[in-house]
Amino acid sequence: MNRKSRLYVLFALVLGVLVLAVAPMAQAQTDDDASTPYAATDDEQWRPKENFWWLFAAYGVIWVALLGYVGRMASKQQQLERELRHLQRES
């Protein structure tokens, strides 16, 4: 693994450690969750099922778009490699 690759891996690991370090700190952040804009609820009566489809659509779009982009990139990569091999053979 070259120096640059090691830097990328180091960056990813630092980010991971940061997440793991901040998460427990967040536990002690506040006891008064109800006063925060986004607070958890245990109210089982609150079941807006119609909203589930918006959630499904948002997550669906994310995964489809990312997988589509990766798929497009993979097919372009194959095409470019073919073209490069062809040009190298000719020159």
Partner 1 sequence: MSMTNRVLLGLSTVGMLALCWMLMTIPREAAQGFVQKIFYVHVPVAWVAFLAFGVTGYNGLRYLMTRDLKHDRIAAASAEVGVVFITLVLITGPLWAKPIWGIYWTWDLRLTTSFILWLLYLAYLILRRSVGDRDRRAQLSAVVGLISFLDVPIVYFANRVKASQHPAPVVGGGEDSGLAPEFLATLLIGVFAFTVTYVLLLRLRHQQSRIEDQIEELHLQRS
Minimum Å gap between C-beta 3 and partner 1 is: 11
Q: Which uninterrupted H or E stretch holds 70?
A: helix 52-90
Number of residues in contact with partner 1, rule: CB under 8 A?
55
**Cβ(61)–Cβ(55) under 8 Å?**
no
User: What is the x/- site pattern for partner 1, positions 48-87, by CB under 8 A?
Assistant: x-xxx-xx-xxx-xx--xx--xx--x--xx--xx-xx--x
**Cβ(33)–Cβ(40) under 8 Å?**
yes
Q: Which residues of 20-33 are buried (b: 16+ CB within 10 A; e: fewer)?
A: eeeeeeeeeeeeee
**Which 4-33 residues touch partner 1, going by CB under 8 A?**
5, 8-9, 11-12, 15-16, 18-19, 22-23, 26-30, 33
Compute the half-sphere exposure of residue 47: CA atoms within 13 Å on the CB side of its CA.
Answer: 3
What residues make contact with partner 1 under the rule CB under 8 A? 1, 5, 8-9, 11-12, 15-16, 18-19, 22-23, 26-30, 33-34, 36-43, 46-48, 50-52, 54-55, 57-59, 61-62, 65-66, 69-70, 73, 76-77, 80-81, 83-84, 87-88, 90-91
